[in-house]
Amino acid sequence: MIGVELVKLVLRPRTWVVLGMLVALPTLVAVLLAVTDVAPGPGEGPPFLSAVLTDGTLFPLAALGVVLPLFLPIAVAVLGGDAVAGEVQSGTLRYLLVRPVGRLRLLVAKLVTVVVFVVLAVLVVAAVAAVEGRLLLGTAPATGTVSLSGSTLTPQQLAWRTALALAYMVVCMLGVAAVALFLSTLTSSSVGAALGTVGLLIASTVLLGLDAASALHPYLPTRYWLAFVDLFRDPILWDDVVRGLLVQLGYLVVFGLAAWANFSTSDVDG
C-alpha cells in the first residue's frame, strides 16, 4: 500500500509543482544576494542569511530557513489535507476500502507518503541551494566556516551538523502532517483540511508573539522550528532541539491517534 501511495505521489503533477516552488524562492534569494551584495544584518532576517555572503556553504541552511516557516508547512498541509479527503473527492476511497485496504494501513501509508515528500523536499532544496551557494555566493573562507559561537567548524563537522539539521526539519513537519491528516479524515474537502492546518500554524505563530500566552509557548507546534540553528553553536545547544522533538512527537501521537479513532469508526459516504 505504501508503494502504491508513493507511485501516486510521483505521478501527481502537483508534487513537482510544489517542489519547484520550494526551490524557486531560495533561488530568487540567492540571485538577489549575489547581485546586490546586500545581506540582512547579523541577527536580522532568516537564520544564516547574514552569513552567506562571506560563506556560500551555509546557503543550504539559509535556504531551508527561508522555506521552513511558511512554504514547507503549507506544502505539507496541502498534501496531508488531501490524503483522505482527496480520495473521497475522487470517489476512490470506497473502492480502496472494499479492495480491501485496512483503514489503519491506509492512514499509515498516507502519513509515510507525506513524510517521504518532506524528506524529498528538504533534500532537493538543500542540494539546489548548495549548488547555488557555491556558484553565486562563493566558497567557505580558507580558515573554515565560522559557527554561530565564533569558533571555526571543519567541513566534516559542518556536514554532519547540516545532516542533523535536515533531519530535525523533517521531524518538525511531522506534527503538521499529523494535524492535516486528522482534519482530512474529518471533512471531505481537501482544501478545508489544508486551510484548517495552516490556520492552526498561523494561530501558533500569533500566540508566540504574545507574551500573555507565554504559558502556552512550549506546547505550540511552531515554537521550536528554528531550533536547528542551535546545532551550529559550539558546543551544540541541545535543549531546544530536544524539546522540539518532543513537541512534534506529541502532536504526531495525539493527532495520529485522533485520525485513526475518527477514520476507523466513521461511515464512508463519499
Partner 1 sequence: MSGTAVIRTRGLTKRYGELRAVDGIDLEVAEGAVYGFLGANGSGKTTTVRMLLGLVLPTEGSAEVLGAPMPASRTTVLPQVGALVEGPGAYDHLSGRLNLALLDAAGPDPLPRRDRRRRCAEVLEQVGLDPADRRPVRAYSLGMRQRLGLAAALLRRPRLLVLDEPTNGLDPQGIREIRTLLLALNAEGTTIFLSSHLLAEIEQMCTDVGVLDRGRLVLQDRLDQLLRPSGLVEVHSPDAHAAARLLGDAVVEVAGERMLVRADDAASLNHHLVGSGVRVARLGPYERDLEQVVLEASSVPPAPVETRAEVLTS
Please report, as ranges, the residues that interact with partner 1 according to CB under 8 A: 1, 3-4, 7-8, 11-13, 90-102, 265, 267-269
**Shortest Å, Cβ 107 to partner 1:** 14
- Nearer to partner 1 (CB atom), residue 94 or residue 206: 94
- Max Cα separation, the chain? 64
**Shortest Å, Cβ 180 to partner 1:** 20
C-alpha cell of residue 245? 522533538
- Nearer to partner 1 (CB atom), residue 104 or residue 242: 104
- Nearer to partner 1 (CB atom), residue 103 or residue 223: 103
In order of 11, 68, 173, 187, 231, the CA distances from 169 in angstroms are 25, 8, 7, 28, 12
- Nearer to partner 1 (CB atom), residue 112 or residue 237: 112
Contact 68, 169 (CB under 8 A): yes
Contact 86, 192 (CB under 8 A): no
d(CA 223, CA 235): 22
d(CA 47, CA 68): 11
**Shortest Å, Cβ 255 to partner 1:** 23
**Which one-letter DSSP state was computed for residue 245?**
H
d(CA 20, CA 200): 25
d(CA 158, CA 124): 18
**Shortest Å, Cβ 113 to partner 1:** 13
- Nearer to partner 1 (CB atom), residue 13 or residue 41: 13
Contact 221, 158 (CB under 8 A): no
d(CA 191, CA 81): 7
- Nearer to partner 1 (CB atom), residue 8 or residue 217: 8
d(CA 84, CA 186): 9
**Shortest Å, Cβ 88 to partner 1:** 9
**Shortest Å, Cβ 174 to partner 1:** 24
